[in-house]
Amino acid sequence: MSVIVIGAGAAGLMTAIVAARCGKAVTVVETRPEPGAKIRVSGGGRCNVLPSRVSVDDFHTKGSRHVMRNIVMSWPLAKVRAFFEDDLRIPLKDEPSGKVFPVSDRSRDVVEALLAALRKSGGVLRTSCRIERIERRDTGGFQLVSSDGRKLECDQVVLASGGLSLPKSGSDGAGLNMAVALGHGMVPTYPALVPLLSNERRWNTLSGVSLCARVKVERDRRTIDEAEGEMLFTHRGFSGPVILDMSHYVTRDRDVALRVHWGGCDVDDWSSVLGQGGRATVASTVRRHLSRRLAALLIDHAAIEPTIRLSELRLTDREQLADVLSRFVLPVNGSEGYATAEVTGGGIPLAEISPQTLESRVVPGLYLCGEIIDVAGRLGGYNFLWAWVTGHKVGRALAAAG
Ligand SMILES: Cc1cc2nc3c(=O)[nH]c(=O)nc-3n(C[C@H](O)[C@H](O)[C@H](O)COP(=O)(O)OP(=O)(O)OC[C@H]3O[C@@H](n4cnc5c(N)ncnc54)[C@H](O)[C@@H]3O)c2cc1C
C-alpha cells in the first residue's frame, strides 16, 4: 500500500524512514522548498536532539497521562539515542543542563543524516508542495489536493504537519484544519515555550539583564508548579529557560500568577541578608546578589530608600523588601504568541488516536504524529523526543498494516 506523509519535519522524516525501510512505498510532501526547517533553527542552530532523561512529568496533555506515558516509553530513550548515534552516525554529547546535542553542535548534520537515511531507504521527498485538502476516496484510500491543484493518490496518509508555532517554518495549522475537516475534534491550542510580555514599561528597561531565579506558578495562592533556572529580561517582557518552561500555564490557563524568588533565595534568606545590620546600605547589599539595575528597580518597588543603612532599616521595611525580593508577582500580560513559541500545546486529542498505532479512530488509514497531537514537552529535547517516538511508532504501524 502506498503512503503519503504530509510534512518533512522531525516526525514526518522519522515516519518515512522507518516505513520505507520496511518496504513501504513512501512519499513525503513538504510545503517549504527545504525540509526540516524547525530542526535547522532548533537549539540556537545546535539542535537539542534529545533529553538525557525522561519522565511523564516532562510532558503536558489534556488527555490521558497513562496513554501519553505508554507512547513516550514505547521507544525507550536509550534506543532512540542509539538510532541517532549508531544508525544515523551522529555522535551525541550530554550537557550538564540535561540536554543532548550533536557533538558537532550543528543542527544541519541532523537534517542531512535524516535525509540521507530517507534516500537510502527508497523514500521519496517532494518539496514546495503544500497540501490543502485530504479527501477520502469511495474506493478506499485518499486523494490529496495541493495548493496548485495537483492531485495525489495514496492508500494511507500521515499528518506530520506540526502545530502553529513558528509559522514561517511552514507549520501554520493547515494540518490541524484538515484533521478537523475530516471529523476530528481539537483540544484548544496555545503557544508554549514562549517568551512572556509585560506592559509595565519599567521592566523593559532591564532588557539584556539575566539572572538565576526560582519561579513558582500559583493558582488561588497554591503552588502548582515551580522551576529554577536562568531568567532573561527582554525589551518586551521576560524570557530565558525558566520562563519558557512555565509559560504554558500563562498561555493555557491564564488564571495563574508567576511568583519569582530573585536570585533563587526565599524569604528567610533575604530576611537574614537584610537583617545583618551594619553600615552597608540597602542598595549595596541587594547588589551583592542581583544586578545593579534590577536591585534598584526592586528596592524602588518596595518603596525603600536605597541609601539607608541596614542598621537603620525598620523591621516593617525589611519585611516589605524581603517580600518583594522573594515573592514577587511578575507583571505578565500575555505572550509573544506562535510567532516565537517553540511548540504548540493542545491539538488532536489523544483519545481520538489508537495508542498502539497512532491511527485515527475517526478516519481509518489516517495516522498522526509529532506536534499536531495534544502533547507538548518541556524545554530540553522533549519535543523532538515526542516527534521521533511518534514518527517511529507510525512508521512501524504502517509497515505492519501491509
Ligand atoms: C525556534 C525553535 C527551536 C526549537 N528547539 C528545539 C530543541 O532544541 N529541542 C526540541 O526538542 N524541540 C525544539 N523545538 C520544538 C521542535 O522543533 C518541534 O516540537 C518539532 O520540530 C515538531 O516536529 P513535527 O515534525 O511534529 O513538526 P514540524 O517540525 O513543525 O514539521 C512539520 C512540517 O510539515 C510541513 N507542513 C505543514 N503543513 C503542511 C501542508 N499543508 N502541506 C505540506 N507540508 C506541510 C511544515 O512545513 C513542516 O516542515 C524548537 C522549536 C522552535 C520553533
Q: At residue 275, does pLDDT exceed 80?
A: yes
Instruction: Please name the amino acid found at residue 107.
Output: S
> What average pLDDT does range 192-206 have in this prediction?
93
Residue 128's pLDDT is 97
pLDDT (0 to 100) of residue 35: 97
CB-ligand 1 contact for 43 (6 Å cutoff): yes
Nearest residue (CA) to ligand 1, atom 52: 342
In ligand 1, which atom is closest to the CA atom of 169?
Answer: 47
C-alpha cell at 289: 546578589
CA-nearest residue, atom 20 of ligand 1: 384
The pLDDT value given to residue 253:
87
Beta-bridged to residue 237, according to DSSP, are 197
Contacts of residue 292, defined as CB under 8 A and 6 or more positions apart, other chains included, come to: none
Classify residue 260 by burial, with Cβ atoms within 10 Å: 0-12, 13-18, 19+.
buried
Tell which one of 342, 367, 390 to mutate to probe ligand 1, the residue whose CB is within 8 A of the most ligand atoms: 342
Rounded Cα–Cα distance for residues 76 and 69 (Å): 11
Q: What is the pTM of this model?
A: 0.95
Tell me the CATH class for 2-190+342-400: alpha beta
CA of 159 relative to ligand 1 center, distance in Å: 12
> 191 CB contacts (<8 Å, ≥6 apart)?
164, 165, 247, 251, 335, 336, 337, 338, 341, 344, 345
* Average pLDDT, rounded, for the chain: 95
pLDDT in tens, 393-402: 999 999 999 7
Instruction: Read off the pLDDT of residues 351-374 as tens digits, 9 standing for 90 and up.
Output: 999 999 999 999 999 999 999 999
pLDDT of residue 254: 80
Q: Which atom of ligand 1 is least distant from the CA of 50?
A: 11
Among 13, 100, 105, 171, say which to mutate for ligand 1: greatest number of ligand atoms within 8 Å of CB: 171
Radius of gyration of the CA atoms of the chain, in A: 24
Per-residue pLDDT at 402: 79
- As a whole number of Å, the end-to-end CA separation of the chain is 7
Quick check: CB of 131 below 6 Å from ligand 1?
Answer: yes
The confidence band for 263, taking pLDDT boundaries of 50, 70 and 90, is: confident
What is the pLDDT, as a whole number, of residue 226? Answer: 93
Distance of alpha carbon 327 from the chain centroid: 27
The residue nearest atom 4 of ligand 1, judged by CA position, is 42
Q: Which helix (H) or strand (E) holds 261?
A: strand 257-262
**Separation of 11 CA from ligand 1 center, angstroms?**
8
pLDDT on residue 22: 96
pLDDT in tens, 292-326: 999 999 999 999 999 999 999 999 999 999 999 99
- At residue 264, does pLDDT exceed 80? no
The reply to whether ligand 1 has any atom less than 6 angstroms from the CB of 4 is: no
Amino acid at 230: E
Domain layout of the chain by residue ranges: 2-190+342-400, 196-329
Give the per-residue pLDDT at 286: 95
298: amino acid identity, one letter: L
Cβ(174) – ligand 1 distance below 6 Å: yes
Among residues of the chain, what percentage have pLDDT more than 90?
91
Q: Is the CB of 31 under 6 A from ligand 1?
A: yes
pLDDT average, residue stretch 51-80: 97
Q: Report DSSP letters for 157-180, one per residue.
A: EEE----SSSGGGT-SSHHHHHHH
CA of 68 to the centre of ligand 1 (A): 19
Interval 39-67 mean pLDDT: 97
Q: Where are the alpha helices (DSSP H) in 154-266?
A: 174-181, 201-204, 241-248
Half-sphere exposure at residue 121, Cβ-oriented, CA atoms within 13 angstroms: 28
| Cα of 8 from ligand 1 centre, angstroms | 9
Q: Which residues, including other chains, have CB under 8 Å from residue 276's CB and lie 6 or more apart?
A: 310
Q: How many whole angstroms from 84 Cα to the centroid of ligand 1?
A: 18
User: Which pLDDT does position 202 carry in this prediction?
Assistant: 87
List the residue whose alpha carbon is closest to atom 46 of ligand 1: 170
Instruction: Starting at the earlier edge strand, list the strands of the sheet with 328-329.
Output: 196-197, 237-239, 222-233, 210-219, 257-262, 328-329
At 396 the pLDDT is 98
Give pLDDT, residue 71.
98
Q: From the CA of 204, how far away is ligand 1's center (Å)?
A: 30
Instruction: Decide whether any atom of ligand 1 lies within 6 Å of the 346 Cβ.
Output: no
More confident of the two residues 182 and 203: 182
Which of 67, 58, 56 is closest to 381 using CA atoms? 58
Q: What is the mean pLDDT of residues 147-171?
A: 95
Beta strands in 14-111 (DSSP E): 25-29, 50-51, 59-60, 92-94, 99-102
Of all protein residues, the one whose alpha carbon is nearest to atom 14 of ligand 1 is: 342
Is the beta carbon of 130 within 6 A of some atom in ligand 1? yes
Q: What is the pLDDT of residues 114-158, one digit of tens each?
A: 999 999 999 999 999 999 999 999 989 999 999 999 999 999 999
Q: In this predicted structure, what is the pLDDT of residue 347?
A: 98
Phi first, then psi: what are they for 294, rounded to 5°? -70, -45
For residue 263 and ligand 1, the question of a CB distance below 6 A is answered with no
Q: Which atom of ligand 1 is nearest to the CA of 390?
A: 26
